Amino acid sequence: MNMKGSVCIMNDHIMNTNENAGSRSRLQKKFSELRAHNRKGLIIYICAGDPDIRTTFNMAKAIAKAGADVIELGVPFSDPLADGPVIQAASTRALASGTNVKKILALVDSLRYEDDFPKIPLVLMTYLNPVYRYGLAEFVRDAAAAGVDGLIVPDLPAGEEESAELINAMSGPDIFMDLIPLVAPTSTDERIRAAADIARSFIYCVSLTGVTGARDSLPAGLEGFIGRVRSLTDKPVAVGFGISTPEHAREAARHADAVIVGSAIVKTIHDVTTSMGTGPAALASVRAVVEGFKNAITARPACSDS
C-alpha cells in the first residue's frame, strides 16, 4: 500500500501492521535502545494534513531519513487549547483540506509499508473530542491496528473517569500502544507520581506554562523541573514546548532523555510548501532543518590531540 493515490481505508478496515512481539511497544523499545547506547532521542511533531495528507506522508518519510527517533502526528482540531498560533493555523489548514481521524489512521497504515517505518514509533497527539466522536473503543482498536504506538491527549483529565476509560481501552492484550502523560512545572509531586504510574514508555514534560510555540530561550527553571521529575521516577522523560532552535534542543537534551520539536518544524513546512510547493526541494529543506536538530543533540565535544 502506498500514497500514490488518495488515502482510503478499504472496506472501512485497517490492516494490522503492528509488528511488536511480546509485551513491549515500539516506543518502549526505542527508549530502551536510546538508553543502552547513551543517546538522546529526537521527537518531531507535524500536523497531519497540513497542507494535505499526501504531503504529510512525504514529509514524514523525509523526517525519518533525517534521523528522527519518533514522529508525532497532530490530529487537527478546531479548538486546540494547548497549541500556539503556528499549530493552530496548521490545524485550520488541515481541517480545510478535509483531514479527519480516519484519513490519519490510513496515513499511519500506509507509512508502515515504507522501508524506514517498521521500527519508527508513530504517536498521535489528539484532543479528546475527536476520539469521542470516532468512538473511544473503536479509536483505540483502529489506531493500534494501523500501527500507532502512542497517544498524547493534552486535555485528558488526570485521575478521572475519562482517563480510566481510555487507559482500560488501551490495556487489551493485543494493544501495543502507550498513553503518554504530560506534566508541567506546576504539577504537584503527587501528579507526577500518578503520571509515572500511567507511563509505559516516557513522560512528556511541558517545559513551561502556556501553549506551544517558538520561544527566544528555554525557561530558567527547566533543569530544576526535570530534576524534580527524575527524583520521583526512573521513567524516561522527554521535554517539549518552546524547543525552537538546535541550541535549545542541545541544552534541553542535557537534562532529558529526548526533546520534542513541533512549532519550528510546522512553520518550516508551511513556509517551504508555500514558497516551493510540495516537491523534492521542499522535502529537502525540511529534512535539513530536522538534521540540524538531530546533529545538535548527538554532537560530542571534539577531543584535542594528545
Active site residue ranges: 72, 83
Helices 263-276, 280-298: axis angle to 10 degrees equals 150
The answer to whether the CB of 271 falls within 8 A of the CB of 47 is no
DSSP letter for each residue of 196-225: HHH-SS-EEEE-SSS-----SS--TTHHHH
Cβ of 144: how many Cβ atoms within 10 Å?
24
Contacts of 301 (CB under 8 A, 6+ apart): none
DSSP letter for each residue of 52-89: -HHHHHHHHHHHHHTT-SEEEEE---S--TT--HHHHH
The most distant pair of C-alpha atoms in the chain lies apart, rounded to whole Å, by 66
- List 194's β-bridge partners, or say none: none
DSSP letter for each residue of 134-197: H-HHHHHHHHHHHT--EEE-TTPPTTSHHHHHHHHHTTSTT---EE--EE-TT--HHHHHHHHH
Contacts of 269 (CB under 8 A, 6+ apart): 46, 50, 55, 59, 90, 282, 286
